[in-house]
Chain A
Amino acid sequence: QVQLQQSGPGLVKPSQTLSLTCAISGDSVSSNSAAWNWIRQSPSRGLEWLGRTYYRSKWYNDYAVSVKSRITINPDTSKNQFSLQLNSVTPEDTAVYYCARGLGITMIVDWGQGTLVTVSS
């Protein structure tokens, strides 16, 4: 059974960088059949897919248009985890952030526990 354990600060100042990590157990970040996603949820924006990283003989990334200029998702094979960095945050980025495992890039099957990140000075 796959488990995803999120970690990272719950408070970030405006204009700074939001950083979260998702540790994987029960699968490999280098799996040729999985994809590793970040998703956020807020009352104003609902569920919003942010992006993914996945390995298919080489590493690929896909990002949502809404955050493409500010987001980086990186795998860490030595620790079997992946991370989210979102730059230049504003209060609009306040949300519960989830990491999630996809089977291929067409469906999301497992979710982390969620992390509430508040952007405030």
Chain B
Amino acid sequence: QSALTQPPSASGSPGQSVTISCTGTSSDVGGYNYVSWYQQHPGKAPKLMIYEVSKRPSGVPDRFSGSKSGNTASLTVSGLQAEDEADYYCSSYAGSLYVFGTGTKVTVL
């Protein structure tokens, strides 16, 4: 099972929006509506930000949103804030297995 493909980096100024892509195959992202997104700050465990493509757990700001088209999922962070600077990883159910993305470092300029 290959890792999902994400851009290594993305950036935006405070208040702007940034969108991160996550490309897989029909065996993972394209085959199921079970894409999740995680935020990870240095030295910390990942934190769930989006599940089932577009749902937000309780406590996650509505500035975070997710979508999917075909084999590519996307995470958009609107109204960027300094605390959004972190690594972001997508993941997908892949039919009894689970696969993560390569990770994207988001920088708030």
Contacts and interface: CB of A to CB of B under 8 A. Distances in A.
B89 A47 contact: yes
A69 B34 CA distance: 27
Nearest to A49: B98
Contacts of B45: 98, 111-114
B51 A109 contact: yes
- Most interface-central of A48, A66, A112 (chain B CB within 10 A): A48
A55 B100 CA distance: 23
Contact of A46 (B36, B48, B102): B102
A37 interface: yes
Interface in B53-105: 57, 89, 91, 93, 96-103
Contacts of A111: 45-47
Contacts of A108: 36, 48, 91, 98
Contacts of B1: 64-66
Interface in A14-54: 37, 39, 46-49, 52
Contacts, number: 56
- Classify the secondary structure of A's interface with B: strand
Interface residues of A, number: 21
A71 interface: no
A76 interface: no
Nearest to B93: A106
A82 to B, nearest CB: 16
Contact of A47 (B32, B93, B97, B103): B103
A34 to B, nearest CB: 14
B57 A109 contact: yes
B109 to A, nearest CB: 25
Which 7 A-B residue pairs are closest in the complex by CB-CB distance? Answer: A111-B45, A47-B100, A106-B34, A49-B98, A106-B93, A107-B51, A62-B96
Given A46-B102, A62-B96, 4 more contacts: A46-B103, A49-B91, A107-B34, A107-B36
Interface in A71-121: 98, 105-109, 111-114
